[in-house]
Amino acid sequence: QQQVKQSPQSLIVQKGGISIINCAYENTAFDYFPWYQQFPGKGPALLIAIRPDVSEKKEGRFTISFNKSAKQFSLHIMDSQPGDSATYFCAANGRKNSGTYKYIFGTGTRLKVLA
């Protein structure tokens, strides 16, 4: 119930193409769904996030699509650029029965955008 399943594990996209990364969760108590971008040697950086009261959020070339009934959410990167080459993590956050919070991270997708 605490898992977030992310796919694909790796992705190669041509410059200008659309990159799509998918995540699925099980725990309906999750109420915050962020995406993080991580470059080699750096920590993850918050890219975009969504809450379950909306089905889509767009920031520049990055869009989150959220399907509450299917318990799935995805990241779309439009007009992908070589500079987008990084590892992307989805996450889900919610309050546990104990009252504490816990982010659950997906396993990551290594994206490579070819010039």
Residue 10 to residue 75: CA distance in whole angstroms: 14
Return the number of the residue (17 or 94) whose C-beta is nearest other proteins.
Answer: 94
Q: How far is the CB of 94 from other proteins (least distance, A)?
A: 7
Q: How far is the CB of 14 from other proteins (least distance, A)?
A: 27
| Pick 69 or 100: Cβ nearer other proteins | 100
Nearer to other proteins, 31 or 56 (CB): 31
The smaller minimum CB distance to other proteins, of residues 43 and 83, is found at 43
Query: Maximum Cα–Cα distance for the chain, whole Å?
Result: 48
Measured between alpha carbons, how far is 88 from 9 in angstroms, rounded to an integer?
10
Number of H helices, E strands in the chain: 0, 11
- Which residues contact other proteins (rule: CB under 8 A)? 31-32, 34, 41-46, 49, 89, 93-95, 98, 100-103, 105-108
Q: What is the phi/psi pair of residue 98, to 5°?
A: -75, -10
Report, in Å, the least distance between residue 51 CB and other proteins: 9
Cα distance between residue 33 and residue 4, in whole Å: 10
